[in-house]
Amino acid sequence: MTRTMLSAVAVTVLLGLGIAQSHAADKKVFAVVPKALGIAFYADAEKGCKEEAAKLGAECLFTGPA
């Protein structure tokens, strides 16, 4: 019984990962992770990332420590 349950869980997880990866492959995301937010240099980098991502139909993820 336990092997059957483990097999069922494993198959479910693998199928879920396959579906998630196929959707992830369609979406392009550029990530910019500066050393610290709120610095003028990084604000310019964020602006550039967002502008170029918009041109390419992608998403710019700008995140980092405060």
Which amino acid, 29? V
With residues binned 3-state (H G I as helix, E B as strand, rest as coil), the percentages for the chain, rounded to 5, are: 65, 10, 25
pLDDT at 59 over 80: yes
Ranges of beta strands (E only) in the chain are: 29-32, 59-62
Strand 29-32 with 59-62, pairing: parallel
Q: Is the pTM of this model over 0.75?
A: no
pLDDT of the residue at 41:
87
CA dist 47 and 32 (Å) reads 11
pLDDT per position as a tens digit, 4-58: 544 444 445 555 655 555 555 678 898 999 989 888 888 899 999 999 999 999 9
Cβ atoms of 31 and 46 within 8 Å: the answer is no
